[in-house]
């Protein structure tokens, strides 16, 4: 089962979702990418994932272009706010889904508030992708 997770910068939300999906089931082939890939991971995203035992520090921030010629079972966009435009994927895909989340890298305020936004979004991503895994993926793998 091949899953591609997309957002704009591929540095934060898509990387966290990628890490969670890999942690749920080793049989999944998971990748993440962005339409405007930043080329680097968001250090706070890496930090909050590591705190719960998921190391995404070895991931790379990749352009969606490198995945267009591959076939995917699922392509999932994770852009959240009304000001964001989610990337469109024009490659071969069986199922397109959107599971949106706020971008914690846009949070402003005290360092404590900003950190709390990373925790909130991380936990929402875990909950949303675990529900997706349980409902959609697991029955297909059994």
Digit-coded pLDDT (tens) for 89-119: 777 899 999 999 999 999 999 999 999 999 9
Mean pLDDT, the chain cut into blocks of 10 residues (142 residues total): 93 97 97 91 98 97 92 91 61 90 95 98 98 97 87
Q: State the catalytic residues.
A: 7, 79, 86
Name the token pair of 127: 């909950």
**Residue 62 is part of a domain; what is its CATH number?**
3.40.50.2300
Domain count, the chain: 1
| Structural domain that includes position 29 | 2-141
Give the integer Cα–Cα distance in Å for 13 and 26.
Answer: 20
CA-based angle 133:113:102, to the nearest 5?
A: 35
Q: Comparing C-alpha atoms, which of 98, 95, 96 is closest to residue 85?
A: 98
pLDDT at 107: 95
């Amino acid at each position: 089962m091949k899953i591609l997770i997309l957002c704009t910068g591929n540095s934060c939300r898509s990387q966290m979702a990628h890490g969670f999906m890999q942690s749920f089931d080793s049989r999944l082939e998971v990748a993440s990418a962005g339409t405007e890939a930043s080329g680097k991971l968001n250090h706070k995203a890496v930090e909050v994932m590591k705190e719960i035992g998921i190391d995404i520090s070895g991931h790379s921030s990749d352009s969606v272009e490198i995945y267009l010629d591959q076939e995917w079972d699922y392509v999932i966009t994770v852009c959240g706010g009304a000001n964001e435009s989610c990337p469109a994927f024009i490659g071969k895909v069986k199922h397109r889904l959107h599971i949106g989340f706020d971008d914690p890298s846009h949070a402003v305020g005290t360092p404590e508030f900003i950190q709390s936004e990373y925790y909130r979004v991380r936990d929402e991503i875990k909950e949303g992708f675990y529900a997706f895994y349980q409902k959609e993926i697991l029955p297909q793998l059994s």
